[in-house]
Amino acid sequence: MIVVMQHDATPAQIEEVVRRLRQFGFDIHLSAGVERTIVGAIGDKTPAVIETIEAMDGVEKIVPILHPFKLASREIHPDKTVVRVGSVEIGGPEIVVMAGPCAVESEAQLLATARLVRAAGATILRGGAYKPRTSPYSFQGLAEEGLKILALAREQLGMPVVTEVLSPRDVELVAQYADILQIGARNMQNFSLLREVGIVRKPVLLKRGMANTIEEWLMAAEYILSSGNSQVILCERGIRTFETATRNTLDLSSVPVVRDLSHLPLIVDPSHGTGKRQYVPAMTRAAVAAGADGVIIEVHPHPEQALSDGPQSLTPEQFSELMASLPALAQAVGRTYTCPAPVHER
Ligand code: PEP
Ligand code: MN
């Protein structure tokens, strides 16, 4: 439930309400707005509790939270959340671009791609070290060796890295190397994995499952938030429909819907969303126009040689061209996109 304080409630009155709620066993999430403070209280609300709190000094009213997701909802947290990764802010006015290969294949491949995407305008480097492949005979990723290569790229280029963690038993290891932990579409409802990344002090990029509703996706975010990690970034990556012309159907309507329902930052993955590189630029621009906080794009120096997702990987030239179109587009929808200054490699 939400306890709305009167606009002139004193700090002492707010404190007392919080103290009583804690006594009743509620988890408290305070949101001090410009107009008034609202106290989000997660727990079992009996009529007696409601009556007691409602009668306290400084309390205006008590409003139930209508959605099954609570910590992820706008009701409890009216202002947008900004997740900070180094000097990059995800969820602020600036459009964030994450780019890199689907998988880390070798040191040379990753460093070359990292340099190219950084020069063209990406601020965060992506690359999978643990790959969730449909076939057990396909390339599964370089595992810890891949994580070390990502760390090397971060060191040399000063770019934070995002990489997928597939299993609860790898969370600790991946968190030692990654700046953002990615939960892939296939694991969106792996609840033990969600709880495990919920106790890590690193941002989590939570992809939407390929057959999951927006509500299920926000409930998955709720697992991470309620485990104690407030740094969740949502990622729309397309869902399965009857359409076969694209790999998935990129559900861009989820962007304004999630924006309405949740305070969490939201990015879009047009690479997995379409599965075909020729459609990635249009859907990147559409994502920004729809209000996404950023995009995550697969780029490979030689897509035809990629060990995974070559058909949807942009060439470096295509990626540069796409980035050049972003500043004007961002501006048209009240956002900014600034190509980062050239990097001086260490
Ligand atoms: C990926 O990012 O390479 C990936 C496997 O994504 P998804 O989980 O969205 O399929
Ligand atoms: Mn991929």
The pLDDT value given to residue 100: 98
The pLDDT value given to residue 34: 80
Asked if residue 110 is part of any domain, the answer here is: yes
Whether 319 and 120 have beta carbons less than 8 Å apart is answered as yes
Nearest atom, ligand 1, residue 126 CA: 2
Asked if residue 343 is part of any domain, the answer here is: no
Nearest atom, ligand 1, residue 296 CA: 2
Q: Which ligand is nearest to the CA of 247?
A: 1
Q: Tell me: do 118 and 204 sit in the same domain.
A: yes
Task: Give residue-wise pLDDT tens across range 196-247.
Answer: 999 999 999 999 999 999 999 999 999 999 999 999 999 999 999 999 999 9
| List of E strands, the chain | 2-5, 27-32, 37-42, 59-63, 83-85, 88-90, 96-100, 124-126, 161-164, 180-183, 204-207, 232-236, 266-268, 294-298
Bridge partners, residue 164, by sequence: 182
Find the CATH number of the domain harbouring 37: 3.30.70.1140
Asked if residue 265 is part of any domain, the answer here is: yes
Asked if residue 144 is part of any domain, the answer here is: yes
Asked if residue 70 is part of any domain, the answer here is: no
Q: Tell me: do 154 and 268 sit in the same domain.
A: yes
Bridge partners, residue 96, by sequence: 294
Q: Tell me: do 160 and 222 sit in the same domain.
A: yes
Q: Tell me: do 56 and 87 sit in the same domain.
A: no
Q: Tell me: do 258 and 292 sit in the same domain.
A: yes
* Residue nearest (by alpha carbon) to ligand 1 atom 10: 185
**At which of 30, 63, 96 does a domain end?**
63
Nearest 10 degrees: Cα torsion 88, 122, 207, 211: 150
Phi–psi pair at 317, nearest 5 degrees: -65, -45
Residues 6+ apart with CB under 8 A from 112: 301
Asked if residue 164 is part of any domain, the answer here is: yes
Q: Count CB atoms within 10 A of the CB of residue 155.
A: 11
Q: Tell me: do 155 and 197 sit in the same domain.
A: yes
Q: Tell me: do 181 and 272 sit in the same domain.
A: yes
What's the token pair of residue 199? 């106790």
Nearest to 9 by CA among 32, 37, 40: 37
Residues of the chain with pLDDT under 50: none
The pTM of the full predicted model, rounded to 2 decimals, is: 0.95
Q: Tell me: do 192 and 43 sit in the same domain.
A: no
Q: Tell me: do 289 and 164 sit in the same domain.
A: yes
Asked if residue 74 is part of any domain, the answer here is: no
The best mutation among 272, 280, 297 to test binding of ligand 1, ranked by most ligand atoms within 8 Å of the C-beta, falls on: 272
Domain that holds residue 33: 2-63
Find the CATH number of the domain harbouring 284: 3.20.20.70
Give the gyration radius of the chain's Cα atoms.
21
* Residue nearest (by alpha carbon) to ligand 1 atom 9: 185
Using CA atoms, how far apart are residues 223 and 226, in angstroms rounded to an integer?
5
Total domains in the fold of the chain: 2
Q: Tell me: do 100 and 53 sit in the same domain.
A: no
Q: Tell me: do 35 and 166 sit in the same domain.
A: no
In this structure, what DSSP letter does residue 187 have? G
Q: Which ligand is nearest to the CA of 238?
A: 1
Q: Tell me: do 118 and 242 sit in the same domain.
A: yes
Task: Give residue-wise pLDDT tens across range 65-106.
Answer: 889 999 999 998 889 999 999 999 999 999 999 999 999 999
Asked if residue 72 is part of any domain, the answer here is: no
What are the CA-CA distances from residue 199 to residues 231, 264, 337 (Å)?
A: 11, 18, 32
